[in-house]
């Protein structure tokens, strides 16, 4: 059951590794919280750095770290307030190449649901899920009805688009609606047109085009979101618009993934 | 490494539905046969619990790393290393086995790395196995190959056993538990009726053949039925049945040769001699054919045959015109045997646990029923 209670939003951000999911998630969270909404940001990446820019560069204990220590976990041990009151959570996970990060997400989400009600009470809950949906564990936020809609981050380059399309195969299989495609620009040729065509091909829409600007990296280095670190910048305004669009977006659809040829055709069309 | 792929068919859910022996358990029993002193199961605390306990009855130490949720997520190498070191301290093994499970194998646990880091003083058989194989014999094959790699089994013996295991697999597919989509367990025919029928035949002076074709240590109990039938025949005074048994003391691993020797000694003490040795205790998939050939050549005009252990290994075409009595320890073996055309099928329930950790023939229900009925009549 997917519960769309009132105007609350539970979203998952997906996309190829390194494409900017965490930056986007934390900036959207900050922008939304600034307007007075209650926001929760749940980082599902074993790297545990989704919320770091909302916490002035501080690393918080992860759910799985505490579980590993055999601690009796309480809400205050794992839910930390960051910029503008955003509730930040990091799932954590194993070192690369060891154990099972997918199982980690499954277990951590179970723990989180037990210790806090914030997922139900927040106006916006964002799950930042790593990489492609590589195994069952990474699909848990969608399968358990925690995420009402997914947003896919991509650039106009072939590999991120290919990964995005793969994620849509997963969403389609899981019957999960796609809220839209967000282009995080890498300054590829005809990038906006390509990503828009791609989104439309999926039966969705391009909900934002985020230009590549140095301010984002500079703020990250300082342990800040651009909303906090450079509030008057143009890019901060773009994130605010995106947050606003997400909160007002009620047109999600289960995506229809493209086949490889269709995907290549979109890229070639704009050469 | 195994050259045989067990992942050749996609499991569409249209195969066999009844639960059946697991590859991990097959690995455990194979390690026991190789006289491993301590086996470490790298997996959750309850994995293979029942068989581990049975194996401990058989003199081998079985311990578990007791993986928990945190080990699934973060890996369990440290836990495995600790259990390995502690086991060495406690049990001073001369040969150690480490066996994978579904949990440790799915998360990609590196058993070899853990062994390298602990550097035990004794050889270690590292068995990378989980239970997701359609044929449980795969677990035995992987273990044999790992034993060769550890330098504790010679390649020729490994090859011989692999051939037998492949024969066993085919046998189960042909007329065993792997022969049908679902087989309901059954207790078979009532032992009282079957024993009565056998005693009538013996008293009528009908000529019988007894074929012991048992899998490894299960022979300790099936042999009791051989003894009972011979005793009854001698008591009735109508001539002795022909006996065949896979109790050759000259083949297989030392442990199995000992079992064969123990059973032959016990039979001899009761004045029972086996007329034809068909092969060794691990050769049950092929010794049934040897028995069948002997029957066709020398005893085709006999009246009844009693097949003990793995009855479906004796080809039906060698038993034409002979009344067939079968005794199995598998409740799911009853239906396939009846469908093959065996006239009576008896189940010695829970036979296997009773044959672990023993050195002498173990009384059987059918054997005791035969003796009691004979005394009463």
DSSP string computed for B267-278? HHHTT---SEE-
Residue from A21, A87, A128, A148 carrying the catalytic annotation: A21
**Is A99 in contact with B72 (Cβ distance < 8 A)?**
yes
Average pLDDT for residues A92-102, to the nearest whole number? 92
Residue of B nearest to A96 (CA): B74
Task: Check B74 against A64: CB less than 8 A apart.
Answer: yes
Q: Which two tokens stand for residue A79?
A: 């839910």
A47 is catalytic: yes
Higher pLDDT, B366 or A6: B366
CA distance A50 to chain B (A): 20
Judged against a pLDDT cut of 90, whether residue B303 lies above it is answered with yes
ipTM of predicted assembly, 2 dp? 0.81
Q: Do A99 and B74 touch (CB under 8 A)?
A: yes
Instruction: Check if A136 contacts B (Cβ < 8 Å).
Output: no
Per-residue pLDDT averaged across A132-138, rounded? 81
Task: Determine the residue among B42, B69, B74 to mutate to test chain A binding: the one whose Cβ has the most chain A Cβ atoms within 10 Å.
Answer: B74
Task: Tell me the mean pLDDT in the region A139-162.
Answer: 92
3-state secondary structure (DSSP) of residue A13: strand
pLDDT interval class at B132 (50, 70, 90)? very high
CB B287 within 8 A of CB B278: yes
pLDDT at position B25 over 50: yes
- pLDDT at residue B2 is higher than 80: no
Of the partner residues A70, A97, A107, the one whose CB lies closest to the CB of residue B73 = A107
Contacts of A70 in chain B (CB under 8 A): 70
The pLDDT assigned to A135 comes to 83
> What pLDDT is recorded for position B116?
96
- The answer to whether B75 contacts A93, with C-beta atoms less than 8 Å apart, is no
Average pLDDT of the residues in B266-291 = 97
Q: Which residues touch B375 (CB under 8 Å, ≥6 apart)?
A: none
CA–CA–CA angle A210, A216, A217 (5° rounding): 130
* Residue B182 confidence (pLDDT) above 60: yes
Closest Cα in chain B to A69:
B70
A16 carries an active-site annotation: yes
Instruction: Give the number of other CB atoms < 10 A from CB of residue B243.
Output: 23
Task: Look at A269 and B84; give whichever has higher pLDDT.
Answer: B84
**Mean pLDDT, residues B251-271 taken together:** 96
Pairwise CB contact (< 8 Å): A100 & B69:
no
Q: Please state, rounded to an integer, the average pLDDT across all residues of chain B.
A: 95
State the average pLDDT over residues A38-63: 95
Q: Which residues contact A181 (CB under 8 A, 6 or more apart)?
A: A151, A152, A153, A154, A164, A195, A198, A199, A202, A204, A205, A206, A207
pLDDT for res B268: 97
Q: In what order do the strands lie in the sheet with A87-90?
A: A80-81, A87-90, A39-43, A124-128, A9-15, A149-154, A178-184, A206-210
Q: How near does any CA of chain A get to the CA of B104, in Å?
A: 9
Asked if B307 and B211 touch (Cβ cutoff 8 Å), the reply is: yes
pLDDT, mean of residues B123-145? 96
Q: Give dist(CA B85, CA B96) in Å, integer.
A: 11
Confidence of residue B4 (pLDDT cuts 50, 70, 90): very low
Min Cα separation A229/chain B (Å):
36
Mean pLDDT within B83-112: 97
A19 near B CB under 8 A: no
How confident is the model over B285-289, as a mean pLDDT? 97
Tell if the CB–CB gap between A94 and B69 is shorter than 8 Å: no
Q: Is the pLDDT of residue B187 over 70?
A: yes
Q: Cβ contacts (< 8 Å) between A93 and chain B: which residues?
A: 73
Q: Which pLDDT does position B7 carry in this prediction? A: 47
- Give dist(CA A231, CA A226) in Å, integer: 6
Give alpha helix (H) positions in B125-250.
Answer: 137-149, 155-175, 191-203, 219-236
> Residues of A with CB below 8 A from B70's CB?
64, 67-68, 70
Instruction: Give chain B positions within 8 Å (CB) of A103.
Output: 69, 72-73, 107
Catalytic residue among A16, A45, A87, A148: A16
Span B189-237, pLDDT tens digits: 999 999 999 999 999 999 999 999 999 999 999 999 999 999 999 999 9
pLDDT of residue B10: 62
pLDDT band with cut points at 50, 70 and 90 for residue A242: very high
Closest in B69, B75, B106 to A94, CB measured: B75
Cα–Cα distance for residue pair A192/A182, rounded to 1 Å? 10
Q: Percent of chain B scored above 70 by pLDDT?
A: 97
Smallest CA–CA distance from A66 into chain B, residue = B70
Residue A92 CB contacts under 8 Å (≥ 6 apart), including other chains? A46, A48, A62, A63, A64, A65, A104, A108
Percentage of chain A lying above the pLDDT 70 cut: 97
pLDDT score recorded for residue B300: 96
pLDDT over 80 at A3, yes or no: no
> Is A77 one of the catalytic residues?
no
Q: Give the pLDDT confidence of B67-87 residue by residue, as tens digits.
A: 999 999 999 999 999 999 999
Q: Is A94 an interface residue toward B (CB < 8 Å)?
A: yes
* Model pLDDT, residue B9: 53
Asked if the Cβ–Cβ distance from A67 to B70 is below 8 Å, we say yes
As to burial, measured by CB atoms within 10 angstroms (0-12 exposed, 13-18 middle, 19+ buried), residue B14 is exposed
Look at residue A71 and tell me whether its pLDDT is greater than 90: no
pLDDT for res B37: 97
Are B333 and B176 in contact by the 8 Å Cβ rule? The answer is yes
Whether residues B69 and A101 touch (CB distance < 8 A) is answered with: no
**What percent of chain B clears pLDDT 90, i.e. is strictly above it?**
91
For residue B74, the chain A residues in CB contact (below 8 A) are 64, 68, 94-95, 98-99, 104
More confident residue, B70 or A270: B70
pLDDT at B1 over 80: no
Rounded mean pLDDT, B231-260: 95
The encoded tokens of residue B359 equal 């050195």
Distance in angstroms (rounded) separating the CA atoms of residues A33 and A69: 33
For A184-225, how does the pLDDT look when each residue is reduced to its tens digit (9 = 90+)?
999 999 999 999 999 999 999 999 999 999 999 999 999 999
Give the tens place of pLDDT for each residue, B318-360.
Answer: 999 999 999 999 999 999 999 999 999 999 999 999 999 999 9
Mean pLDDT of B134-139: 94
**Cβ-Cβ contacts under 8 Å, A95 against chain B:** 74-75
| pLDDT classification of A6: cutoffs 50, 70, 90 | low
What residue ranges in chain B does DSSP mark as E strands?
Answer: 38-41, 61-64, 96-99, 124-127, 208-213, 242-245, 276-277, 304-309, 323-328, 344-347
* Contact between chains at B75 and A103 (C-beta distance less than 8 A): no
pLDDT band at A143 (very low <50, low <70, confident <90, very high): confident
A233 touches A215 (CB < 8 A) = yes
Q: Is the confidence at residue A5, as pLDDT, over 60?
A: no
pLDDT at B377 over 70: no
When the pLDDT of each residue in chain A is averaged and rounded to a whole number, the result is 93
Active site residue A234: no
């Amino acid at each position: 059951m997917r519960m769309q209670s009132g105007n609350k939003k539970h979203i998952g951000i997906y996309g190829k590794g390194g494409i900017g999911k965490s930056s986007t998630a934390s900036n959207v969270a900050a922008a939304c919280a600034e307007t007075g909404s209650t926001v929760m940001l749940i980082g599902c990446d074993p790297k545990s750095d989704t919320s770091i820019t909302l916490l002035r560069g501080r690393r918080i204990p992860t759910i799985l770290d505490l579980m590993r220590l055999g601690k009796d976990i309480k809400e205050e041990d794992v839910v930390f307030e960051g910029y503008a009151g955003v509730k930040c959570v990091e799932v954590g996970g194993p070192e690369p190449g060891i154990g099972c990060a997918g199982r980690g997400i499954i277990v951590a989400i179970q723990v989180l649901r037990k210790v806090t009600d914030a997922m139900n009470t927040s106006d916006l809950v964002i799950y930042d899920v790593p990489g492609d949906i590589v195994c069952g564990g990474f699909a848990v936020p969608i399968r358990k009805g925690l995420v009402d809609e997914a947003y896919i981050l991509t650039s106009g380059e072939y590999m991120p688009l290919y990964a995005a399309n793969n994620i849509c195969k997963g969403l389609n299989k899981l019957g999960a609606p796609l809220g839209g495609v967000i282009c995080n620009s890498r300054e590829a040729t005809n990038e906006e047109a390509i990503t828009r065509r791609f989104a439309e091909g999926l039966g969705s829409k391009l909900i934002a085009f985020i230009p590549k600007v140095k301010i984002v990296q500079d703020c990250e280095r300082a342990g800040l979101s651009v909303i906090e670190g450079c509030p008057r910048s143009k890019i901060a305004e773009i994130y605010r618009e995106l947050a606003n669009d997400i909160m007002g977006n009620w047109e999600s659809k289960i995506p229809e993934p493209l086949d490889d040829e269709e995907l290549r055709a979109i890229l070639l069309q704009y050469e | 490494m195994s050259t045989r792929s067990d992942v050749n068919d996609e499991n569409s859910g249209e195969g066999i539905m009844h639960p059946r022996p697991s590859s991990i358990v097959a690995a455990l029993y194979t390690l026991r046969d190789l006289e491993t002193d301590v086996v470490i199961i790298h997996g959750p605390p309850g994995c293979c619990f029942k068989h581990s306990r049975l194996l401990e009855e058989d003199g081998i130490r079985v311990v578990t790393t007791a993986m928990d949720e945190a080990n699934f997520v973060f890996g369990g190498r440290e836990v495995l290393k600790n259990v390995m070191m502690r086991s060495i301290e406690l049990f001073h093994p001369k040969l150690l086995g480490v066996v994978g499970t579904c949990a440790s194998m799915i998360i990609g646990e590196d058993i070899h790395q853990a062994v390298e880091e602990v550097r035990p003083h004794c050889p270690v058989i590292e068995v990378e196995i989980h239970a997701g194989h359609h044929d449980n014999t795969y677990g035995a094959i992987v273990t044999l190959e790992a034993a060769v790699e550890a330098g504790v089994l010679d390649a020729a013996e490994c090859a011989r056993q692999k051939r037998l295991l492949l024969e066993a697999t085919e046998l189960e597919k042909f007329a065993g538990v792997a022969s049908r989509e679902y087989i309901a367990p059954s207790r078979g025919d009532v032992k009282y009726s079957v024993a009565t029928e056998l005693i009538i035949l013996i008293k009528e002076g009908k000529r019988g053949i007894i074929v012991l074709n048992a899998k490894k240590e299960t022979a300790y109990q099936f042999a009791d039925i051989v003894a009972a039938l011979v005793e009854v025949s001698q008591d009735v005074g109508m001539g002795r049945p022909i006996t065949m048994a896979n109790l050759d003391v000259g083949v297989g691993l030392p442990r199995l040769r000992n079992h064969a020797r123990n059973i032959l000694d016990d039979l001899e003490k009761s004045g029972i001699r086996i007329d034809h040795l068909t092969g060794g205790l691990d050769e049950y998939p092929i010794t049934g054919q040897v028995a069948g050939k002997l029957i066709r050549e020398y005893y085709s005009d006999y009246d009844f045959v009693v097949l003990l252990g793995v009855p479906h290994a004796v080809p039906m075409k060698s038993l034409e015109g002979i009344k067939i009595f079968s005794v199995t320890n598998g409740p799911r073996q009853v239906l396939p045997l009846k469908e093959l055309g065996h006239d009576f099928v008896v189940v010695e329930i829970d036979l296997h646990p009773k044959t672990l950790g023993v050195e002498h023939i173990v009384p059987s229900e059918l054997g005791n029923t035969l003796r009691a009925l004979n005394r009463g009549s």
